Structure formats: C-alpha cells, structure tokens
Structure 1
C-alpha cells in the first residue's frame, strides 16, 4: 500500500460546522432527479443503487444517473488535501447542471455536498454560489423519500427484527437516523431493535481506518458485538462505507449477520408480486 496516508500530515485542521436549523422541504414531488450513487455503491454495492432507482421510479420520478460521476471528494477533504478535493468537486458539479434535486445513497456523501463543498469554495464567490445551490437541492435518500416524496410503504415481508446503523457524520450533520427510523416504522412486520453502540462510529471513517487500523478495528469490534447482542436478525444502514467495514468484521469474527443498504431492504420488503416478476 502507498505510504501517502501514513507519511503525509494533514495540510489544515478541519472544524465541524455548527448545527443548522431544521430544513424546509418543498411541497410536491419533482418529476426528475439526479442520483449520486457514490463510488462505494458503484464498486461494491451496485444493487443498492439500482434499488434506490426502483424506489424513486415507483414514486413516479424519472432518475438521471450521470455516467461521469465518481467520488464526492470526501477522502481528500478530510485528509487535508484541499486542492485535490476541489478538483473532484468541480468535476461533480458539472454533472448536475439542471435544476433538479440530487438524491444521494450515502449520508456521509450527501453531507459532503451540503455541508463541506461551501467550505471548500468559500474564497471563490462564483463557485460558492454554485455549490450553495447544489447544497440546497441535495438530499440523502431516506430523507428524500420521507420528506419530499411522503412515501407510504406497505410491508410485504415476514416478521423480522432489524438493527439500524447510521453513519456518525450523517447522523450529526443531517439526522439521517431519524429518517431511516421513520421509514422502518412504516413496515408493519419489521421491529427495529436498539443496540448499545448505535450512535457510535463503526471505525471506518474513510482514510481513518487506513491510518489508524488498530483503533478502527477495536471500534468495529465493539460495534459488531453490540449488534450481535441486540438479537437482531439483520442489520440495515444507509451508508455503504460503514456497511463494508461492518460486514468485513462480521465475516472475520464468523458472526452470522449481514448488513444491507436501506434502499435494498426497503425495496425487497415492499415489492409487490407484479414488481418482483418484472
């Protein structure tokens, strides 16, 4: 592995943005949205991206998936490589030129668009206006389904106990745990069980898990043991970076649990026979 992450010190200190007031949501569903699938979904969880599209299309919304999209720039940004993060951000901005909502299948990536792009371009007035406009129309998937689509889910599955994991950054910046909880509560046969470490980081943190592998490993061990102790039959999360870390730890410890992206879980639980046969 490259020594870049180990030898290069961050170039500047990051300060968490202050909490913002509750967001005001538009009335009525849009007819068209962009989907930002994230690099982790693209490479490791493509079914989550497809299931997100299915959920949105069922709401009568056309989904545009720009083929040139890549990383949101968060790994470079949180490692202190500001100029490299700006390059990535500029490339993504060009892909979302139409004035449509941007729906993101990861809370941490949605937070990058909404909370941190404005910081990246705070000294470039023209770009700052563009990223602020992007921030205003960016939604994490569960948030969009709940507050913009006003989705009403009808459970088609058998009784099941699930534990929810939410990205700590998305939880802090956008309350994504509340959105996911509300959607799961609509499923009549699904019981969400609590676990002791629900609000804690799973230890992934992007490059943190590379730079601090021992600490990261201890954190995910605590997380997975807590999930196991909850008695849940399945783990659900809206962040695939966390899922990759948690599922890897499950496998390493021979724990018979598997984490699934919220989009896939919701789609599978709510598919009608007609939809399943298509």
Structure 2
C-alpha cells in the first residue's frame, strides 16, 4: 500500500453499534488507512412516513460536512436506506456530498449493487433483519436495477438497535438457507448486522460469494479513496476484485 495515508469518512446511523467496530477491526493492521465516523439520528426502519423522513438529505449532509473537516479522501453513507427508498436517492446524495465538500462519495446500497455486478452474480440471495413490507420493497428496488432476488431471508425487526443484537449464528443460518436455494451470491443487506467475519469461511465452504454490507462499503470507499483493497483480501473474495462501475 502507498505510504500516503487514506482517511475514509463514514456517515453512520446513530443507533448502529456494528459498523464502526467492524470497520475498525477490518482495518486493524492495514497500514496508512483510518476510518472516521459522523452520526445522524436513525432509530427505526419501516415504511412509515416518520421512519422514511429520517433519511432526508438535509439531515445527512451536515454529517458529511463534519467528515470533510477531517480531510477525508472519500465519504460513504454507510447505510442501506436506498434499497427501499430507491437508488436514485443515493445517487443524488452522493452528488450533493461531492458538490458541498469536493470529496468523492458512495453508499452501502450502491456498493452492494456494484459488488454484485462486479462478480457477475446471477442468482442473488438477500439476507436482512427487516420487516416483510420493507423486504418486499427492497426486492422491487433491486429488481429495477436488474438484480431480481433469487432467494431471501429476513427477521421481521424494525428497531434499528435490535439489528446489532442479532447473533452471527443467526446471520449464518440465513446465509446458509439462501445458499441452499441456489444463490451464487448472498448480500447481507444491513450495516447493523455483524456478518463481515463470516464471509471468507462461508465462501470457501459453500462456494458462494458473501457480500456483507459493512465489508462491501469499506471495499468501495477504500477504492474510491485510491487505497489498496487487496490489503483486505482475508475478509472475502470481493477484496480481490476492483469495482467495474465508477
């Protein structure tokens, strides 16, 4: 890796207790790369108007401004809200972040879709903690992007903090279930699910790609910053592949 330090800015849901420690764990021992976090309030995931309004750009952009003060090299909205709000929301958000800060930007949803396309997956399984209606909406949004879910599992939860309490064993069970239905890639679609450490071993055992949202967001953000994604190869096969969509 270049000796030039890379600073990665992560816009983080306030009640998320997973993505910050997992990102730092992944970067432990990776020379010259640091992650920096800025929070805004998110407590519930549902299709209710109040829950949807949590993700208004007017409350997210100030978090990006604070990250820019740390002179980060790239900024990610490290959350998956566009998977039910529509991918256009994240594209507009990234444009707004870069216009305000001059820093290139990405999001978890854009990174996950990019990762699926990059590895050429054809039968994608979606694993999430969300409610039935949110999961159905996610399926519709991803289908609009040309990725029709082949299989899915979800937990029916809506309290965002509770997602971080889901055990890795429960996440593994869902990954195994969608893999057993013939998925060739499994997306763990929530940055408050502790699944990143499962990817490498399950990929080898099941011969499927495991695309954890926290890991994939880090993959895309580090690449956007000009860092060496290969330094994280032990965390899954996605780190052996460069993104095809810029």
TM-score normalised over the length of structure 2:
0.40
Specify the structure having the higher radius of gyration (Cα).
Answer: 1
TM-score normalised over the length of structure 1:
0.37
Larger strand share, 1 or 2: 2
